[in-house]
Amino acid sequence: MKTANHSKRRRVKRLLHGRSGAAVVEFAVVLPIIVLLFMGTLEVGRAVMVRHVLEETARAGCRVAVFENGTKQDVLDIVATAMSNANIKNYTVTIDPDPPENLEAFQAVTVTVSVPYSEVSWLPSSDYMSGQTITGLCVMPAEGDGANDPDSNATPSTKKNKKNKKDDDDDDDDD
């Protein structure tokens, strides 16, 4: 009995020692594939993250542009603040119409923020996204002073936004 257990142990030991070289070869074959998948996931994740930041930045810029008193400089300032907070440089901002002033009620205002992927990549050589530009876009209708639906025959109200109403109240007190 003792001999049978001993020979089983020897066979198992021999099998284990014989497999150690195969495990190293298998690991050497699989490792580059795992590293490639990890780097690709990292690159795509970064691209998705930057696109989200650009979309939110374009949305913030568009919100400012559609206000009754919004100016191009207001849009550029809020975009610059958001991009600085995200540590993204060398971006471009496009506003349509440019400048976003004296807009008709419900006129479409578009703000686009773009950056080359090479400027935001975390990897030194990004073959996955090389030459690509990531863009965030937002389109909103312009607001107006008491504007109604353009298809309606109703007369626009004289209601002003809170900022203007407060300013008007302050002017009345001075009289």
DSSP structure string for 95-151: EESSS--SPPTT-EEEEEEEEEGGGT-SSSS-SSSTT-EEEEEEEEEPP-TT---TT
Closest C-alpha among 94, 77, 91, 78 to residue 119? 91
Domain locations along the chain: 2-174
**Pairing verdict, β 133-141 and 92-96:** unpaired
Both tokens assigned to 147: 């504007």
In tens, the pLDDT along 50-89 reads 999 999 999 999 998 888 777 889 899 999 999 999 999 9
User: What is the C-alpha separation between 106 and 36, in angstroms, rounded?
Assistant: 49
In tens, the pLDDT along 107-160 reads 888 999 999 988 888 877 666 667 889 999 999 998 765 445 555 555 544 434
Closest C-alpha among 148, 117, 150 to residue 133? 117
User: What is the C-alpha separation between 68 and 145, in angstroms, rounded?
Assistant: 7
In tens, the pLDDT along 33-50 reads 999 899 888 888 888 999
User: Within its chain, how far is the Cα of 67 from the centroid?
Assistant: 23
35-48 as b/e: b if 16+ CB within 10 A = eeeebeeebeebbe
Closest C-alpha among 92, 87, 62 to residue 74? 62
pLDDT value of residue 161: 44
pLDDT value of residue 122: 81
User: Within its chain, how far is the Cα of 84 from the centroid?
Assistant: 14
DSSP structure string for 45-92: HHHHHHHHHHHHHHHHHHHHHHSTT--HHHHHHHHHHHHHHTT--S-E
